[in-house]
Structure 1
Amino acid sequence: MENLVFIGDWIKDRVLGSGSFGVVVLWKHQKTQERLAIKTCKWGDELTEKHKERWTKEVEMLQNCQNPNIVGTKQLPPEFKEGLKPVNPSKLPILCMEYCAGGNLRQYLNLPESCNGLREVQVRQILGDMRSALQFLHHNKITHRDVKPENIVIHVLDGPGNMDNGLQGKKKVIYKLIDLGYAKEIDSNSVCASFVGTLQYLAPEIFYSKTYSNSVDFWSFGLLAFEVICGTRPFLPFMAPVQWMAHVKVKTHDNICIYETFHGDIKCSNEMFPENFISKPLKASLEQWLKVALEWDPKLRGRDAPSKVTFNIPSEEKETSSNVVIFNLLETILSKKIMKVFSVATLTHYAYEIDDKTTAFMLKKWIQDDTHIPVEEQILISQNYVITDGEDTVMKYWDENSISVYLYNKQYLIEEKSDIIVPEIVQRSLKPSLPVELIQNFKNCQLLHRNGFYFVMSQMELYDSLIKGLFVRAESLKNESKELVLRHNFVDKNIGKLHVKEETLKKFTTMGKEHVQNLKANGVGTNLLGGFEKLFKEADELSDDISKLQNAWSQLTVRLESAARRRIEGLSTDLNNFISKFNYQALFTKGQTVYVSYKKIENYNDSKGRDKISDVIQLIKDCFKLRNKILMEIRNQRFYCSIKDLSIELSKISEIITNASNFSETLDSHSNSLTDKLSNCMWSTISLLSSDAHNLVDLPYSVVSIQKSNFKIGEPVSTHCMKMVQSTNRVEEDENLKSLIEESLTLRQNHIKLTEKFKTSKNYLHNKAKLDFSFLAED
Structure 2
Amino acid sequence: MSGQCGPWICQRILGRGGFGVVSLWFNVETQENIAIKECQLHNTSDKMRTWWNAEVDIMSKLEHDNLIRALPVPPELAPEPSQPPVLAMEYCEGGDLRKVLNLPQNCLGLSEIEIRHLASGVGSAINYLHKHRITHRDLKPENIVLKAVGGRTLYKIIDLGYAKELDINSLCNSFVGTVKYLAPELFISKPYSKAVDYWSLGVVVYECITGSRPFLPDTPPVEWHREVSKKSPEDISARYNNDKSEVIFSQKLPSSNHLCKPLAEHFELWLRLMLRWEPKARGSSRFNCFEILEQICSLKVLIILNVETNCLLSYSVKREDCIRDVSHRISLQTGIPEDEQFIIDAAGFKLDPDEPALKFCSDHLPKELSLFLFRTGMMEIPERENYNLPSNVNTIVKQPTVLLGPKGHRRAWAETVYWLTEEAKIYHQLMLAHGAALLNMMQDNSKLLRQKPIMETEIFQLEACQEFFKTSLDFDINKCKESLEISTHLITVGGQRMMETWTEISDRFNAPYNLVERGKSLIDSIVDRNAAVSSLQRGPEGTHIQVNKLKEFEEKGKELYDWFIQASDQDTIDHKNMVNLIAMCFCQRDELTKTVYSHICNIRKQQQHSESIFKACEQFLCDVKEARAELTTLQRQRQETMWSLIRNPLQPQQTSTGELDSTIQFLPSLSNDLESVQLLMDCREYTQKSNTMLKDMLKEQEQSMVYFSLPENNK
Query: Are the aligned partners of 1:123 and 1:228 in contact in 2 as well (CA < 8 Å)?
Result: yes
> Sequence identity, in percent?
27
Where does residue 72 of structure 2 map in the other structure? 75
Structure 1 CA distance, aligned partners of 2:130 and 2:630? 76
Measured against aligned partners, the alpha-carbon deviations of 1:136-182 in whole angstroms (never above 9, x if no partner) come to 2222222222221111100123xxxx44xxxxxxxx22111111122
Query: Are the aligned partners of 2:322 and 2:357 in contact in 1 as well (CA < 8 Å)?
Result: yes
Aligned mate of 1:62, from 59, 71, 75: 59
Measured against aligned partners, the alpha-carbon deviations of 1:398-422 in whole angstroms (never above 9, x if no partner) come to 4333312245567778835223464
Where does residue 10 of structure 2 map in the other structure? 12
Where does residue 564 of structure 2 map in the other structure? 597
Measured against aligned partners, the alpha-carbon deviations of 1:25-62 in whole angstroms (never above 9, x if no partner) come to 10001122100000010115x53332222212211221
Say whether 1:276 aligns with 2:257: yes
Say whether 1:550 aligns with 2:512: no
Q: How large is the RMSD of aligned CA atoms in angstroms? A: 4.6
Deviation at 1:191, TM superposition (A): 2.6
Query: Are the aligned partners of 1:345 and 1:412 in contact in 2 as well (CA < 8 Å)?
Result: no
Amino acid at match of 2:11: D
Amino acid at match of 1:589: K
Map 1:438-457 → 2, pairs under 5 A: 440=404, 444-457=408-421
Where does residue 694 of structure 2 map in the other structure? none
Deviation at 1:440, TM superposition (A): 3.2
Map 1:282-681 → 2, pairs under 5 A: 282-303=263-284, 306=285, 322-324=286-288, 326-343=289-306, 345-360=308-323, 362-363=325-326, 366-367=329-330, 380-388=343-351, 392-400=355-363, 401-407=367-373, 415=381, 417-420=383-386, 422-426=388-392, 428-429=394-395, 440=404, 444-475=408-439, 477-486=441-450, 488-489=452-453, 543=512, 546-547=515-516, 549-563=518-532, 566=535, 568=537, 575=543, 578=546, 582-586=549-553, 588-594=555-561, 596-597=563-564, 600=567, 604=571, 608=572, 611-631=573-593, 634=595, 645=602, 648-662=605-619, 664-665=621-622, 668=625
Change (3 A) 1:576 1:511: same
Structure 2 CA distance, aligned partners of 1:146 and 1:493? 80
Q: Normalising by the residue count of structure 1, what TM-score does the alignment of the two structures yield?
A: 0.70
Measured against aligned partners, the alpha-carbon deviations of 1:348-402 in whole angstroms (never above 9, x if no partner) come to 3333333455544555555566666676776544242232455634543443333
Equivalenced residues, count: 641
Q: Secondary structure at the match of 1:208?
A: coil
Query: Are the aligned partners of 2:23 and 2:36 in contact in 1 as well (CA < 8 Å)?
Result: yes
Unaligned runs of 5+ in 2: 485-490, 656-715
Deviation at 1:225, TM superposition (A): 1.2
Amino acid at match of 2:155: Y
Aligned mate of 1:37, from 31, 35, 38: 35
Change (3 A) 1:555 1:570: closer
Query: Are the aligned partners of 1:154 and 1:175 in contact in 2 as well (CA < 8 Å)?
Result: yes
Measured against aligned partners, the alpha-carbon deviations of 1:470-494 in whole angstroms (never above 9, x if no partner) come to 4555555544443432355566667
Query: Are the aligned partners of 1:377 and 1:409 in contact in 2 as well (CA < 8 Å)?
Result: yes
Measured against aligned partners, the alpha-carbon deviations of 1:117-144 in whole angstroms (never above 9, x if no partner) come to 0111111111111122122222222222
Change (3 A) 1:471 1:92: same
Query: Are the aligned partners of 2:348 and 2:438 in contact in 1 as well (CA < 8 Å)?
Result: no
Amino acid at match of 2:47: K
Change (3 A) 1:642 1:221: closer
Structure 2 CA distance, aligned partners of 1:646 and 1:547? 30
Structure 2 CA distance, aligned partners of 1:513 and 1:282? 82
Query: Are the aligned partners of 2:445 and 2:610 in contact in 1 as well (CA < 8 Å)?
Result: no
Structure 2 CA distance, aligned partners of 1:393 and 1:621? 44
Query: Are the aligned partners of 2:392 and 2:411 in contact in 1 as well (CA < 8 Å)?
Result: no
Aligned mate of 2:184, from 191, 199, 204: 204
Q: Secondary structure at the match of 1:27?
A: strand
Amino acid at match of 1:67: H
Amino acid at match of 1:339: L
Where does residue 98 of structure 1 map in the other structure? 90
Structure 1 CA distance, aligned partners of 2:63 and 2:233? 35
Query: Are the aligned partners of 1:594 and 1:615 in contact in 2 as well (CA < 8 Å)?
Result: no
Where does residue 126 of structure 2 map in the other structure? 134
Query: Are the aligned partners of 2:321 and 2:357 in contact in 1 as well (CA < 8 Å)?
Result: yes
Query: Are the aligned partners of 1:598 and 1:612 in contact in 2 as well (CA < 8 Å)?
Result: no
Structure 2 CA distance, aligned partners of 1:366 and 1:464? 25
Query: Are the aligned partners of 1:346 and 1:415 in contact in 2 as well (CA < 8 Å)?
Result: no
Amino acid at match of 1:68: D
Structure 1 CA distance, aligned partners of 2:464 and 2:233? 77
Where does residue 696 of structure 1 map in the other structure? none
Amino acid at match of 1:288: L
Aligned mate of 1:218, from 165, 182, 198: 198
Structure 1 CA distance, aligned partners of 2:472 and 2:176? 101
Deviation at 1:595, TM superposition (A): 5.7
Structure 2 CA distance, aligned partners of 1:380 and 1:486? 24
Deviation at 1:553, TM superposition (A): 2.2
Change (3 A) 1:288 1:386: same
Where does residue 227 of structure 1 map in the other structure? 207
Deviation at 1:197, TM superposition (A): 1.5
Change (3 A) 1:503 1:247: farther
Query: Are the aligned partners of 1:282 and 1:333 in contact in 2 as well (CA < 8 Å)?
Result: yes
Deviation at 1:277, TM superposition (A): 1.5
Measured against aligned partners, the alpha-carbon deviations of 1:242-280 in whole angstroms (never above 9, x if no partner) come to 323333333333322222233433222221000111212
Structure 1 CA distance, aligned partners of 2:318 and 2:216? 38
Structure 1 CA distance, aligned partners of 2:198 and 2:471? 87
Where does residue 233 of structure 2 map in the other structure? 253
Where does residue 768 of structure 1 map in the other structure? none
Amino acid at match of 1:418: R
Say whether 1:176 aligns with 2:156: yes
Amino acid at match of 1:415: I
Q: Secondary structure at the match of 1:228?
A: helix
Q: Normalising by the residue count of structure 2, what TM-score does the alignment of the two structures yield?
A: 0.76
Structure 2 CA distance, aligned partners of 1:135 and 1:514? 101
Aligned mate of 1:152, from 124, 144, 147: 144
Amino acid at match of 2:531: S
Where does residue 267 of structure 1 map in the other structure? 248
Where does residue 236 of structure 1 map in the other structure? 216
Query: Are the aligned partners of 2:302 and 2:357 in contact in 1 as well (CA < 8 Å)?
Result: no
Structure 2 CA distance, aligned partners of 1:15 and 1:512? 108
Where does residue 689 of structure 2 map in the other structure? none
Query: Are the aligned partners of 2:455 and 2:523 in contact in 1 as well (CA < 8 Å)?
Result: no
Query: Are the aligned partners of 1:236 and 1:260 in contact in 2 as well (CA < 8 Å)?
Result: yes
Deviation at 1:652, TM superposition (A): 1.4
Structure 1 CA distance, aligned partners of 2:69 and 2:450? 59
Measured against aligned partners, the alpha-carbon deviations of 1:599-618 in whole angstroms (never above 9, x if no partner) come to 756785xxx1xx42444434
Structure 2 CA distance, aligned partners of 1:375 and 1:408? 11
Deviation at 1:578, TM superposition (A): 4.6
Change (3 A) 1:450 1:189: closer
Query: Are the aligned partners of 2:420 and 2:554 in contact in 1 as well (CA < 8 Å)?
Result: yes
Change (3 A) 1:456 1:579: closer
